[in-house]
């Protein structure tokens, strides 16, 4: 009986996959050059122009005929408490944002956003640019000793392709294993010295009701100097896969049911198994 039911559900799931409705628009808000005091690493700075343009590019992120079926809108703020950011933003991004330009109030607002279901994408290169992460109990350790890293799962294998090796540059840090474990995080990548350089928190991992969070310990992984969004090099694919991993829908009916960053028939099988297991 269960086998025949599974076959029927499998066929129905395939049909539904073909007529699935488009997802909502995902909004990413980040600090302006006024907030960061840096015209290169602000969310509207020249170093992040290509990354931001790629996120807004409808061929990559859009409701129709795109790699990821969710549109992205990006906005900047002069200070985090302004402009209805908490009500409007799905994700707050912190690029290379100096602690000296990040008030305790900013960290509190970001924490409030995250603990109440909002997402965070933090590029915390060193102990002088990690204020939000530090506030959450995840300070960056200085002077990582290897400038490349890779793995075989998300975000190195995702909807924008497979990444062979990601390059870091300038100041690079790492996260403490105990800090990540105590905060419920998952290690996504270690550098050649075994130091944590990318960590991920899914919905509810950090605390009940919290959103998703990714911490990367070098913003240079996604800026124009390392990531070429025209030739689509490894760093560019890594950066876009990061964001694709943040915007997935919640719940049992997540399109990427097996959470491997790739949408295929395995996800339909996963959905059917979870449905029969009582998750709908």
- The pLDDT score that the predictor gives to residue 198 is 97
Neighbours of 67 (CB within 10 A): 15
State residue 76's pLDDT score.
95
Angle, CA 244 vertex, CA 204 and CA 215 arms, to 5°: 55
Mean pLDDT of 68-94: 93
280 compared with 58, residue with greater pLDDT: 58
- Domains belonging to the chain, first-starting first, are 24-248 (3.40.50.880)
Residue 269, phi then psi, degrees to nearest 5: -60, -45
With tokens 């000793």, the residue in question is 145
Residue 24 in this model has a pLDDT that exceeds 80: no
The CA–CA distances, whole Å, from 45 to 30, 61, 81, 98 equal 11, 21, 20, 14
* Residue 21 predicted with pLDDT over 70: no
Q: How far apart are CA 160 and CA 56, in angstroms?
A: 15
pLDDT mean over 209-224: 96
Q: Which pLDDT score, from 0 to 100, does residue 5 have? A: 38
Tens-digit pLDDT profile for residues 153-206? 999 999 999 999 999 999 899 999 999 999 999 999 999 999 999 999 999 999
From first CA to last CA, the distance across the chain in angstroms is 19
Q: Are 261 and 153 in contact (CB under 8 A)?
A: yes
Average pLDDT, the chain: 85
Does residue 26 have a pLDDT over 90?
A: yes
Distance CA 111, CA 183 (A): 13
Predicted TM-score (pTM) of this structure: 0.81
**CB of 29 closer than 8 Å to CB of 42:** no
* Bond into 32 cis (ω within 30): no
């Amino acid at each position: 009986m269960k086998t025949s039911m599974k076959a029927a559900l499998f066929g129905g799931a395939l049909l539904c996959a073909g007529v699935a409705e488009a997802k909502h628009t995902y909004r990413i808000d980040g600090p302006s050059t006024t907030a960061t005091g840096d015209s290169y690493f602000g969310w509207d700075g020249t170093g992040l122009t290509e990354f931001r343009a790629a996120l807004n590019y409808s061929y990559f992120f859009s409701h129709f005929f795109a790699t990821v079926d969710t549109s992205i809108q990006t906005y900047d703020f002069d200070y985090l408490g302004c402009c209805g950011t908490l009500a409007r933003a799905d994700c707050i991004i912190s690029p290379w944002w100096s602690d000296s330009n990040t008030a305790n109030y900013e960290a509190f607002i970001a924490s409030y956003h995250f603990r109440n279901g909002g997402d965070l994408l933090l590029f915390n290169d060193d102990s002088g640019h990690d204020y939000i992460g530090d506030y959450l109990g995840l300070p960056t350790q200085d002077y990582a000793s290897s400038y490349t890293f890779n793995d075989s799962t998300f975000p190195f294998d995702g909807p924008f392709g497979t990444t062979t090796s990601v390059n870091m540059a300038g100041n690079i840090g790492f996260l403490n294993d105990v800090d990540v474990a105590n905060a419920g995080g998952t290690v996504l990548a270690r550098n050649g010295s075994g130091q944590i350089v990318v960590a991920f928190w899914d919905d509810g991992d950090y605390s009940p009701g919290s959103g998703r969070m990714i911490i990367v310990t070098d913003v240079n992984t996604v800026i124009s100097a390392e990531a070429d969004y025209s030739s689509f090099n490894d760093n560019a694919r890594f950066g876009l896969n990061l964001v694709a991993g943040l915007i997935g829908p919640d719940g049992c009916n997540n399109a990427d049911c097996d959470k491997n960053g790739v949408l295929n028939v395995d996800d339909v099988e996963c959905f059917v198994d979870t449905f029969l297991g009582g998750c709908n």
